[in-house]
Amino acid sequence: MFTIESFINAWRKESQLCINLFGKLPAGGLDYRPTAGQRSTLELLRYLSYGPYNGLMKTIAGDWQKGRGTAEVTAGMPASDFPERMAWQAEAAAIELRSVPVSTLDLDMTYPWGETLKRGEALSLYPMRWLVGYRMQLFLYLKSAGANQLNTTDCWRIPTAAATPA
């Protein structure tokens, strides 16, 4: 059965996967950018450190205008802050999700692109998918930037030694 706690646990695992991947960043990898129009690895780390949480907060509130923009919050963040920011994001998401009255998850949320969903469904379809999708993007960036030691397991599973609760 789906519960808020299962969602929180999934969010924590995704955050830990991102932290583990960051630990595999190759020398010079922060500047990697697949094409001129795409984010660099550093820009991707900045987005990951707040963007999914920002979407979660906006969805919980049912208001896309709530809060500050991700680029504003993460401007100038050094890459070295990424693990701490991901751990913060996981804990902050848990606190916020636990404080949400379950009944509000049945209320509608209309996104700027016009789609309307129940907030509970929207949490899985957007903020969680953003966290998962950009984690995958980080994996691919690291591989392309020269982290040849990475394999599929690094993308999908937390090593036993690193599997401590956030």
Q: How distant is the alpha carbon of residue 110 from its chain centre?
A: 21
Quote the tokens at residue 28. 């010079």
- The verdict on residue 2 lying in a domain is no
- The verdict on residue 5 lying in a domain is no
- The verdict on residue 3 lying in a domain is no
Q: How far apart are CA 112 and CA 122, in angstroms?
A: 13
Quote the tokens at residue 99. 């404080």
- The verdict on residue 4 lying in a domain is no
User: What is the predicted pLDDT for the residue at 159?
Assistant: 79
Residue 48's identity, in one-letter code, is L
Q: How far apart are CA 27 and CA 132, in angstroms?
A: 24
DSSP string of 84-152?
HHHHHHHHHHHHHHHHS-GGGGGSEEE-TTS-EEEHHHHHIIIIIHHHHHHHHHHHHHHHHTT-TT--H
User: What is the predicted pLDDT for the residue at 121?
Assistant: 93
- The verdict on residue 34 lying in a domain is no
- The verdict on residue 32 lying in a domain is no
pLDDT tens for each residue of the chain, 166 residues long:
678 999 999 999 999 999 999 999 999 999 999 999 999 999 999 999 999 999 999 999 999 988 888 889 999 999 999 999 999 999 999 999 999 998 999 999 999 999 999 999 999 999 999 999 999 999 999 999 999 999 999 999 987 765 555 5
> Structural domain of residue 97, as residue ranges?
10-24+39-162
Give the predicted TM-score (pTM) of the model. 0.91
- The verdict on residue 80 lying in a domain is yes
- The verdict on residue 31 lying in a domain is no
At 113, which CATH number?
1.20.120.450
Query: What's the total number of domains in the chain?
Result: 1
CB 138 within 8 Å of CB 44:
yes
